[in-house]
Amino acid sequence: MKDTIDAILKKHIPKEKGNLIPVLQSVQKKKGYISPESVNRISNYFRISRSSIYGVATFYSQFRFNPPGRHSIKICLGTACHVQGGDFILKALQAEIGISPGETTDDMRFDLDRVACLGCCALAPVVMINNKIHSRMSVIKLKELLNKYE
Amino acid sequence: MNNFYKIQKKAIEEWQALKNSSEPVIYVGMGSCGLASGAGEVWNSVRRTIKKNNLKAQVLKVGCIGPCYLEPFFDIQKPGLPRMSFNNVDVSKSRKLISEYIIGGETKLKPLGHLGENKEEFEGVKSFWEQPMLKNQERIVLRNCGIIDPENINHYIARGGFKGLLKSFDIGPEGVIEEIKTSGLRGRGGAGFPTYKKWQFCRNAKGSPKYLICNADEGDPGAFMNRSLMEGDPYVLLEGMLIAAYAIGTNHGYIYIRAEYPLAIERLKIAIQKMFNLGLIGKNILNTGFNFNIKIKEGAGAFVCGEETALIASIEGQRGMPRSRPPFPAVSGLNGNPTNINNVETLGTIPNILREGGKWYSGFGTEKSKGTKTFALVGKVRRTGLIEVPMGTTLREIIFDIGGGTLKPFKAVQTGGPSGGCLSEEFLDLPVDYESLADAGSIMGSGGLIVMDQGTCMVDVAKYFLNFTSQESCGKCTPCRIGTHKMVEILDKITKGEAEMRDIEILEGLTSTVKNGSLCGLGQTAPNPVLTTLKYFKDEYLAHVEEKRCPAAVCRDLVEYRVIKEKCTGCQRCVSVCPTGAITGPRSEPHNLDPEKCIKCRACYEICRFDAIAGDAIVIV
Ligand SMILES: Cc1cc2nc3c(=O)[nH]c(=O)nc-3n(C[C@H](O)[C@H](O)[C@H](O)COP(=O)(O)O)c2cc1C
Ligand code: FES
């Protein structure tokens, strides 16, 4: 844990506070989420208070503060996906895997989130699983798709 | 410069060699839309097939050519023949094309069109550009998208790349600004401010270093024009930035791009590196003494960061909160220095204007809105994708001629994203330009066009947008933070059938408070979706309030699902799709729907196959 964060921090000059967001992004990329421990270490390095770091991090929807599941499901709820029924897919999926956006299943198999648009609006509704975008989703297609992710 | 002509000569040779290749060339549409439709799998399979069969053939990646609904595109160019474009090609279709068309020589699969230079029909195959979706378009910004390999700088150079930059060095910074003035170009990020004026302000502002920022945050959910351009032709944006920086007098550029666009980020990084290698970015560009560097900053998911002062705060590492203007960024922006911010499309238009001349560009469009505009044509329209049309094209031409109309009867079109409005049928003949849209109560915005039909509930749409803006409100000013929240509450009540007429009055009152009292564009425009739906679709509000009925059968609390026994064929499709097991019944017998278990996710309604007749096998009472 320590080493990865150290490696990320070392790439940035402590004085350049503008690097806070890129650092948080790198930490999340490597660790999957922003843990209290990571915040402590960033705080010491940049000499920014922990509350300021949380202030910035919670402002942006990209950051999560609990460990992710093995597979991340993101349901697009942008306008195009909304009018094509993205909301209904979310509803059905919630019933299927039993969690709400922002949560992770007990067996750590899936975490669920919504996003505001993945830029594939022409193929709405879309769902992203682990960085792969699946287009023209329906409840049944998503159900079949999830079987492929253990 | 001499050095550049050598580069250019080599690039043209490479491009010609590709066009006249003695081996077959395969082009796979690998934009985000192509990849989401399975282009990645096709790509891998094609490479394997070629290797296995020891075929002599080249395989290239291209960006999105526009009609996303036909992705993945798979073009084959055989020696001496024009590039033939096949659509909706999955792995098995690509195998078939290779074995029949490339190895065998003949295929029964019909290409959608050819992409030869000559637009004439070729052996019974029409030009790609003659399709209904494309023939009324005017492709200026998008001219390279889907045509060139976005990772190959030589393709870009061979098709006129960097000629605009050379011209700029010729005529000097003031000359560039003059050319942009002649072109009439206005900002494509939403507000439509004349680009030359912005540049002039920043050029004249005191303070250094100055900064140039490309706004690639594309926050409008439901729009992807900027993504497509950056993925399909990253060089045109970078050349535009070089020209802008040269005109303004800055050496520092940033691209603020949303993190949801990993492919665009990757292609931009590759493009920057290739330009650096050729001396087109960095120190002493083409020996002119002009230096320019570009840094990429990834956004972290906040709609308000598309607003320029919030964007600057975000680059500085703070919460992305707007501040009041003046001072404008042109005077005091990033780190307190003069900063010019332009949208991706604005900057992507610049090289074309410089190459062909401002006068040429001003020949397109209307009196006050010059040139062309790209739109993301999405929603309930048959042909979805990215289009580019001259300003002043009517909504009807866009939705019906280009988009092929809707499946169910047309109801509304939404322009301008969360800041825009919903326009009804009576506006279909409205020419699309900045003024006409604003007069109708909407805005041009960045180019999202979301088509809605009878299956869309306008109150639900208004609630959707207000929900979005209230969640994305940064919280700094009260009218926006509390006002949007209150509006969501009322809209929620309406969609639940719990509202009274008085609530609509309160809602109307709130719209003006939020509009007039908010600090930044987010709050000032947030009421637009409510205002326009109240104005043009009042009857739908009334149905929800007075009759407790949702005419489009979308609002969950006002809809109940049941099976119409006479129409159900017992095909079991709905049984298999229901996530809660609410529908039961043996095959070939009418099914049962248990309302207690039903979560109204509509999966059965969507999947019931017998369109006209049994489309209402599951109806709403
Ligand atoms: C809430 C809000 C969000 C915005 N989002 C974007 C955006 O995603 N992309 C963009 O280019 N401009 C956006 N803008 C407009 C920018 O503030 C700015 O006007 C624009 O980038 C200027 O570029 P242009 O002159 O080339 O249009 C937004 C404005 C507001 C108020
Ligand atoms: S609205 Fe879902 S991808 Fe854009």
A47 interfaces chain B, CB cutoff of 8 Å: no
Q: Would you tell me the crossing angle of helices B344-356 and B163-183 to the nearest 10 degrees? A: 100
Q: Identify the sign of the CA torsion B491, B322, A79, B340.
A: positive
**How many whole angstroms from its chain centre is CA A29?**
9
Q: Which of B215, B297, B217, B320 is nearest to A59 (CA)?
A: B320
When the candidates are 1.10.10, 1.10.357, 3.60.20, 3.60.40, the CATH number that belongs to A2-59 is 1.10.10
Return d(Cα B342, Cα B244) in angstroms, integer: 9
- Residues of B within 8 A of A77 (CB-CB) are 221
If you count DSSP H runs as helices and E runs as strands, how many of each does chain A have, helices first? 7, 4
Q: How many CB atoms lie within 10 A of CB B614?
A: 16
Residues in chain B: 621
Sign of CA dihedral B377, B379, B382, B384: positive
Name B620's bridge partners: B561
Is ipTM strictly over 0.90?
Answer: yes
Contact B385, B67 (CB under 8 A): yes
User: Helix, strand or coil for residue A37?
Assistant: helix
Q: Which of B300, B380, B452 sits opposite A21 (nearest CB)?
A: B300
- Tell me, what's the pLDDT at B600? 83
Q: Decide if B455 contacts B570 (C-beta within 8 A).
A: no
* Comma-separated ranges of CATH 1.10.10 domains in chain A: 2-59
Token pair 């029964």 is at which residue? B108
Report the pLDDT value the prediction gives residue B179, as an integer from 0 to 100: 98
- For residue A115, the ligand closest to its alpha carbon is 2
CA B424 from chain center: how many Å? 22
d(CA B535, CA B279): 56
pLDDT < 70 regions, chain B: 1-2, 610-621
Q: Which residues line ligand 1 (CB under 6 A)?
A: B 187-191, 193, 215, 217-219, 304, 306-308, 341-343, 346, 446, 520-522
Q: How far is the CA of B167 from the centre of ligand 2 (A)?
A: 39
Minimal C-alpha gap between A43 and chain B (Å): 14
Collapsing DSSP states into helix, strand and coil, what is residue B59?
strand
Q: Which residues pair with A110 in a beta bridge?
A: A71
pLDDT value for B410 = 97
- CB of A130 within 8 Å of any CB in chain B? no
Judged by CB atoms closer than 8 Å, whether chains meet at A25 and B464 is answered as no
Cβ <8 Å between A122 and B376: yes
Delimiting residues of CATH 3.40.30.10 domain(s) in chain A: 71-146
The answer to whether the CB of B393 falls within 8 A of the CB of B428 is no
Distance CA B438, CA B420 (A): 9
Q: Which of residues 225-244 of B touch A (CB under 8 A)?
A: 227-228
Q: Could you tell me the two tokens for B48? A: 């394997």
Which chain A residue has the Cα nearest residue B414?
Answer: A79
Q: Report how far residue B75's alpha carbon sits from residue B97's, in angstroms, rounded to the nearest whole number.
A: 10
pLDDT digits 0-9 by tens, B559-582: 888 888 888 888 888 888 888 888
Of A59, A62, A120, the CB nearest to B32: A120
B residues 1-20 lying closer than 8 A (beta carbon) to A: none
> Rounded to the nearest whole angstrom, what is the distance from the C-alpha of residue B521 to the centroid of ligand 1?
9
Q: Which residue's alpha carbon is nearest to atom 4 within ligand 1?
A: B306
Q: Which helix (H) or strand (E) holds B479?
A: helix B478-495
Beta bridge partners of B428: none
Dist CA B617 CA B598 (whole Å): 16
Q: Within an 8 Å CB–CB cutoff, is residue A29 touching chain B?
A: no
* pLDDT tens digits, B312-352: 999 999 999 999 889 999 999 999 999 999 999 999 999 99
**What is the whole-number distance in angstroms between the Cα of residue B222 and the centre of ligand 2?**
5
CA distance B377 to chain A (A): 7
Going by CA atoms, what residue is nearest to atom 25 of ligand 1? Answer: B187
Provide φ and ψ at B340, rounded to 5°: -115, 130
In chain A, which residues have their Cβ closer than 8 Å to the Cβ of B318? 56
Going from the Cα of B463 to the center of ligand 2, the distance in angstroms, rounded, reads: 17
Cβ of residue B307 closer than 8 Å to a chain A Cβ: no
Domains of chain B: 18-134 (3.40.30.10), 162-361 (3.40.50.11540), 372-453 (3.10.20.600), 458-546 (1.20.1440.230), 556-617 (3.30.70.20)
How far is ligand 1, taken at its centre, from the CA of residue B529, in Å?
18
Q: Does any ligand 2 atom lie closer than 6 A to the CB of residue A120?
A: yes
State the pLDDT at residue B439: 94
Residue A7 corresponds to which amino acid?
Answer: A
Distance from residue A116's CA to the centre of ligand 1 (Å)? 17
Region A80-107: mean pLDDT is: 92
Residue A72: per-residue pLDDT: 95
Q: Looking at the domain that runs over A71-146, which CATH code has it been given?
A: 3.40.30.10
Q: Which ligand has its closest atom nearest to the C-alpha of A78?
A: 2
DSSP, res B394: B
Q: Is-cis flag, bond preceding B527, omega within 30?
A: no
Long-range contacts made by residues B563-566, C-beta under 8 angstroms, separation at least 24? B563/B590, B563/B591, B563/B592, B563/B593, B563/B617, B563/B618, B564/B616, B564/B617, B564/B618, B564/B619, B565/B590, B566/B590
Q: Are strands A110-115 and A71-76 parallel, antiparallel or unpaired?
A: parallel
Q: Assign B271 to helix, strand or coil.
A: helix
Residue of B nearest to A139 (CA): B603
Q: How crowded is residue B1: how many other Cβ atoms within 10 Å of its Cβ?
A: 10
